Amino acid sequence: MVSKSSMSSSFLFLMALLLSCSSMSTAARYLEEEYPQLPKPELSPHPAMPELPKPELPAHPEVPELPHGAAVPELPKPEMPKVPELPHPEVPELPKLPELPHPEVPELPKPELPEHPVVPELPKPELPPLPKPEFHFPEPEAKP
């Protein structure tokens, strides 16, 4: 038996589906209707614009020519101050660590693994022979 809550939810779903279908059909009908062409309003002609005079730009200023590279005096190279050599600091030697004796590792016997059990071969199952397919082709009718 169907519970009351599932019936009410299915009823609500069906009502929503019905409302959406009816609204879609109404919207489609509105889209299919042809509206009458509205007359275009007549606009007044554009006012005549007075012609503006073209502005005169000032002439480009003349750039004086620069002298060639030979006329430019070379600057003296600056002298770098000498860096005094600092004495190399003596690094103390690291103390030698005493040698530690290596402990002897006792030899352990190898664990013996049990042999795998021998599995006998299974006999192959005998299958019955496949039946041959029988085709029944219709014989062509003789033309008079």
pTM here is: 0.23
Tokens of 129: 């022979």
Q: Confidence band (pLDDT; 50, 70, 90) for 32?
A: confident
Res 4 pLDDT > 80: no
Q: Which residue has the tokens 């590792």?
A: 105
Q: Which of 23-27, 31-35, 37-41, 134-138 has the highest mean pLDDT?
A: 23-27
Average pLDDT over residues 57-73: 80
- Comparison of pLDDT for 44 and 72, the residue scoring more: 44
Residue 82: C-alpha distances to residues 75, 79, 85 (Å): 21, 9, 9
